[in-house]
Structures are given as structure tokens and as C-alpha cells.
A and B are shown apart, each in its own frame.
Chain A
Amino acid sequence: MVGSDRGRLILPTALLFVLAAFAPIVFSVFQTDDSAAMLFMPSAWFYTLVLLPILLAVVVRVANARIERASK
């Protein structure tokens, strides 16, 4: 049970962190200036609330498919 899927999971997990880190970085960069924050907020919200779940679900789906294929 140990190690067999490790290689197949490294890439999706790393991708997941990159995707998830994008929103906090947007917030931390643009929160210093109120007007900039207001301008950028809707797109950051759209990314975090709409795109991120869809992207993450796709990443999980693809990773599962890889594991399925490998186990057959």
C-alpha cells in the first residue's frame, strides 16, 4: 500500500498548490492599496469562488484516471 501511487500524485498535488496559492497572492499584493483592491477584487473572487473549485475537481479527476489506468 505504500509508495505505489506516490509518483502519480506528485504532479497533481503540486499543481493544486500552485492553483490555490494564486488567490492569496492576489489578495496579499493588492490589499496594500484600497482602490487597487477594489478594482482587482471581483476577478480574484471570481477565480477563487468559481474557477478554483472547477480546476481542482478537474485535477482530482485526471489524477484518479491516471491511477485507474495504472492499476489495470
Chain B
Amino acid sequence: MTLKRYSSIKPGVSFRGGAGLLVGATLYLLVLFVLEKTGVPRQYAIGISAAALVIAWLLPSLAAGTTRADKFALADRAISANINAMAITTAVMLPLFSVFGASIYFEAPEFLVLLAGAMTTGVALSALLVSRKLRASEYADFCALFMDRYRRKIPATIAGLGVAFAATLLLIAAMTAGATLLGWFFALRFPVALTLFAGAVGFTAMIGGLAAVSRLAALAMICFIVALNLPLLLHSLETAGLPIGHLTFGYGAVEPVATLESQLRSVDFPLLDAAIEPASAVFEWGPGRQIAAALLVALALAVLPQIGQQYAAATAPERASDGAMKAILTVGFTALSLVALAAYTRLGIYETLLGLSPAEAGIGAPFLYEWSAREPALVQLCGNVAATFDQLATICGDGGALLSLDRLRLESRLLLAAAPDLSGLPFALTGFMTLSILLLTAAFSAMSALAVANHLAGAGRALMSEKERSGRLFGTRLLILLAAVLAGTAGWLWRPDAASLTLFALALLAATLLPALVSALYWRKASAGAAVLAMVTGFAVTLVYYVLGRIGVNFKPGDGDELSLALPGLPEGVPAELGALFGLPIGIIALLLAVALEPFSAGKTVQVASKHRSGPQQKKTPRDAQLSRFKSWRNSFITSKKRRSARVE
């Protein structure tokens, strides 16, 4: 029935602007390349990049603007599988990969590869367990799905609050990372960059809801894939003579760097690691913690609300799982491209800087002084930032000496954006890479803001009539604005470690939602009480462990009383971010116990309920009234859809 109803709808959110995007991107790259080659100052190229960024952000946002509740919350259930796949990939990449990818590679390459495996596994889990079921339920989010399954508001409300909290943390992390990049590239102060970024995120999510967010995410992901693969192609051609960097990066970059580093080590020369300030303590974790983090990331991605929204907006259940399957391949390809590019960038930096004297740096490594007057600074020499070529010779006080890697400081949060520049490629590629990361971060942030608003409003909305629901659209838009402002303020005052916060938010999602959602979908015996208990215990244990692991029992950070419990395989202790290693099993145990004890505690209720089903003249309880309002809303939704299709015909 469902398939029949929606398979006839012509996809409304497909990628019709593909040719425009291709022409625009080519034109942008050509103009920046010509400007650089003709010696025009870099500020002009950055100005053109600003215009390109505004156009690329504004067009998909405005094109999907709507006043209709169905288009806003569900994109009319007309998102094609390809757009779904791109948007899911955007959600899966998180700030972890799309912003910190190169820095993770430089600091702990095995962690990056593990995370890549976790991401593909997470999408596969989500495709198998959630995609079809969520789309077939015909609801926009997990709250409504809980409402439908249990016919009670409490599980939906608890799930909504838990998801909104975790999605807000993800929003804060993404906005902080995006604003840092925006501030660096366009030489803006952090508060200004954060305000602009929050405004852009709020605008996209508020004006067009899921349709706008999905379009922006697809555009951003296509740009990101191209931005990764263009420099990779040039590196691979130059180094290995073959244009497929994904095949050549092993013998073309990883092995030469390993050989070079072992030679440098043998003569006591500093390695590139000495020049890189770790972006996060998370990237210095040992193998046990890395594996635990990867496992939790995979589990959390299975229930990521941003991905759930994409499933809900697919044209049919089988198209939802089709989109997820395509997303697995896209995530795998993007991760492979990123790892290959990071490997070539590492080699490129060694080739550029080793044996370079300040006199040669003007031509060989202009990035050493061309990114001055920016916060954060991309490069520091002897603790200072050189503003001109002449300053390079005097900045360390010994003009003639070679540039040593231990005198250099590279800002690791900017490594991916600046990767082409650092390895001697044209500035146009750096500009395109930065724009694509900014678009990607903005799209992910908008997805998160929408998830916060939808899940906060979702539980209540499931019980409303169509008229009420449309009336509440204004409230949802306000919630989005509130989430963007709140996340912006938190990012400004708190300046969080975005990678650490992302991992914590994902762990919190896994512990809160995974047992309850999987049991709601696949376990007939699961009850509303059991789901609530699983969500509350999972959430509480993970949150309490994080607080105690961060600030200790006496709430004074850094005085040594922070909690760090050991587990088999983790002798160094479970870090605060991964409290879900306790929260998730405890949530599952709570769920199992609650289901096992249900017949003893609710025997009377079951009898009353079965009696009620057999006797139609029974007096209506408030719960029945709630249920009937819920059903009438569902019917009115379906009728309005049919009416619209008839009008179109």
C-alpha cells in the first residue's frame, strides 16, 4: 500500500543543478588559477571565494524554501536515492572526518582508518536495521516512531529530549569547527565568524527544512569529493605517473614517507610530528581506546537522527535502503580519497620543507608567510608568525640556518583545508577545498539544528491534527533559531574541543537510543516502560561518567580525582567521552530486566487492556483519546497528500 502511494510521486529533490555546479566550480577554479599565475594578490582570490561560498550556500537554501509543513519536515517524501546517499554521507562524515581528517592522519593514521571502517559499518547497520522500518512507519523521526509503536507519549518525549541534547552537542562541535575554518580563511575574528556561521545554519534549516538541508548537503558532498580528488590526481600523476591516487598512495606516498622518516630518525633529525600541535587529546589515544571509540561511532551512526530524517524523506522504503547502500560506497570512496590525499600531503610537506633555507622559502614555501594576520595561525616559526618573506630570515634570529621542522608549528585543525597549499599545489585548490569543507560543516550543522527542533516538537506533533501541525511549524522554526543561537553562544563561551565533543555526543546517542530503538522495531515483547528505562539509564550513566571523568567528584577540573575506570583491553582507563561503554550495556540490561518483570508488575493492566479490546462499549480512557487523535492526524496527513496529488493531476 505504502509503495503504491509514494512510488508514483516524481522525485522533487533530485540534483537538477548538476550542470550549473560543474560550470560554476570550473569557472571558480580557472579564475583563481589565472589570478595566482598573473601575480594578483591573494586577497582578491579570497574575496571571489567569499562570493562563491555565499552563492553555493544561498541557492540550494532559497530554492527549497517553503511554508508547507510536509515539505518542511519530510521534503514531500520525494528525495531521490542519490541525494539521500550524498546527504547521509555528509551526516556520517561528521566534523571528525570533514574537518579533522588530515590531522587525525598526521597524528594517528591507524585511528583514521579505524574510523573509516566504523563509518561504513555504522551506515550498513543503519541501512539494515533502521532504513526500511523508519520509512515504512511513515513518520518523520524517531519520536513519532516510538509514539506509533507504544501508543504512549512518554517514550517519544524521552527519546526526543535525549536526541535533542546529543544533536545540540553535535551542533556545537560542528559550528565551532566550521567557524574556526571560516575565521581563518576569511581573516575574521572568531565571534564574528561564529555569528555568521550560526546565521547561515539557522537560515538554511529555518527557511527550507529538510528539503533545503538535503540539497545543501548533497551539493557540499559533491564539492568535497571533487576537492579531495583534484589534488590527489595531480599528486599521483606527478609522483607515480598514474592519475588514480587511490591506487598509488601506498607505494607513491606511504612507503617513501616511512623510508624517509626512518632515515631522519637515524640521524636524529626532527620529524613532521614535532611540527604539529595535536588538535585534540582524542587523537593521542592508544589502540584500546581507539577501537572502543570506533565501535561506539559505528553503533551511534546506526541511530543518528540526521540519517533517520533522510530515510523518512525517501520516496519509498526500498529507496531508503537503496540510498543507504549507495551511501556506504560513497563514504568508503570519500574516506579512501581523504586518506590518500593526507598521505600525499605528508610527503609533499617533507619535500617542500626539508633542506629549505629562508632565502628559498619565498618561492618554495610561500605558505610560511602568506597566511599571516589570521586566527588561528596556520604556521608559526619559532613561536612567531611571519607576515612577509623578509621576516622569514630574521624571525628565528639566525638568518642563514635551514628551516628545521622542530622550529615550525602547523595548526592541525587547518591541515585538510590547507593541504593543497602545504604541498605546493595552486591556491585555487586550497580555496575550493576550504569552501567545500565549510559547506559540508554548514550542511551538517543545519541537519543537526533540524534534528533538535524536529525531535523536540515531534512527540507533541504526532498527536496533532494537520491544521495544528501547520500552525506549529512556526514553533519548529523558532526552535531551530534557538538551537543555532544556543550552540553559537556555547561555542563562543566554551570553545570546546570539537573532536572530543563529537565523540561524546555519538556515545550518548548510542547509549540512549540504540537498545530502545532496536527493541521497538524488532522485539514484540518490548514495552513502553522498558524503553523508557533503557533510555534513561543509558543516558544517565553516560552523562554522569562524562561529568565525573571531566571534573571529578569534587567538581574541580584537573585536580586528579577525575574518574577513569579500567576495562579488559583498556588498562589506561575508559576516557570520559566513552562512558557509553558502561551506559550501553547497563541500558540493555535495564531493558531486558524491565521486559522480564513486566508480567509481574503490570498483570492487572494487561487484563484490563484485553477486556477493553473485546468490549466496544467501554468508557474511553485519556490514553484512548490520545490514540484516536493520533490516528485522526495520521489519516488527515494521508488525505491531504492524496488531495494534493489529485490537484496536480
Contacts and interface: CB of A to CB of B under 8 A. Distances in A.
Interface stretch (B179-187, B203-211, B324-332, B557-565): B324-332
Contacts, number: 125
A16 B328 CA distance: 12
Contacts of B27: none
Given A27-B110, A48-B116, A1 B324 contact: no
Interface stretch (B192-200, B453-461, B516-524): B516-524
A6 to B, nearest CB: 5
A61 to B, nearest CB: 6
A14 to B, nearest CB: 11
B250 A2 contact: no
A48 B117 contact: yes
Given A2-B523, A49-B335, A42 B250 contact: yes
Contacts of A59: 124, 128
B336 A13 contact: no
B507 to A, nearest CB: 17
B318 A54 contact: no
A5 B128 CA distance: 10
Q: Is the interface of B mostly helix, strand, loop or mixed?
A: helix
A64 B318 contact: yes
Nearest to B526: A2
Contacts of A3: 522-524
B298 interface: yes
A31 B108 CA distance: 12
A54 B606 CA distance: 47
Contacts of A67: 132
B318 A68 contact: yes
Interface in A24-53: 24, 27-28, 31, 37-38, 41-42, 44-46, 48-50, 52-53
Interface in B141-155: 148-149
B336 A49 contact: yes
B141 to A, nearest CB: 16
A50 to B, nearest CB: 6
A44 to B, nearest CB: 7
A60 B325 contact: yes
B522 A2 contact: yes
B476 to A, nearest CB: 26
The range of chain B's interface size is 35 or more
Contacts of B322: 64
Nearest to A53: B332
A56 B301 CA distance: 15
A27 B523 contact: no
Contacts of B258: 38
Nearest to B522: A6
Contact of B332 (A1, A17, A42, A54): A54
Contacts of A37: 110
A3 B133 CA distance: 11
Nearest to B250: A42
A3 B141 CA distance: 20
Best-surrounded residue of A53, A54, A68 (most CB of chain B within 10 A): A53
A13 to B, nearest CB: 6
B318 A20 contact: no
Contact of B287 (A6, A13, A28, A48): A28
Contacts of A12: 128
Contact of A60 (B124, B287, B290, B298): B124
Contacts of B336: 49-50
Interface in B181-240: none
Given A45-B339, A49-B113, A56 B129 contact: no
Given A49-B116, A60-B324, A64-B321, A9 B128 contact: yes
Interface string B333-372: 1011001000000000000000000000000000000000
B306 interface: no
A53 B336 CA distance: 10
A53 B287 contact: no
22 contacts: A1-B149, A2-B149, A2-B520, A16-B121, A17-B121, A20-B121, A23-B114, A27-B114, A31-B110, A38-B258, A41-B110, A41-B254, A42-B250, A45-B250, A46-B250, A48-B114, A48-B117, A49-B332, A50-B246, A52-B332, A57-B332, A60-B128
Given A1-B149, A24-B291, A45-B339, 18 more contacts: A1-B133, A1-B136, A16-B125, A19-B121, A20-B120, A24-B114, A27-B113, A28-B287, A37-B110, A48-B116, A49-B116, A52-B120, A53-B331, A54-B329, A56-B328, A57-B332, A60-B325, A61-B325
Interface of A: 1-3, 5-6, 9, 12-13, 16-17, 19-20, 23-24, 27-28, 31, 37-38, 41-42, 44-46, 48-50, 52-54, 56-57, 59-61, 63-64, 67-68
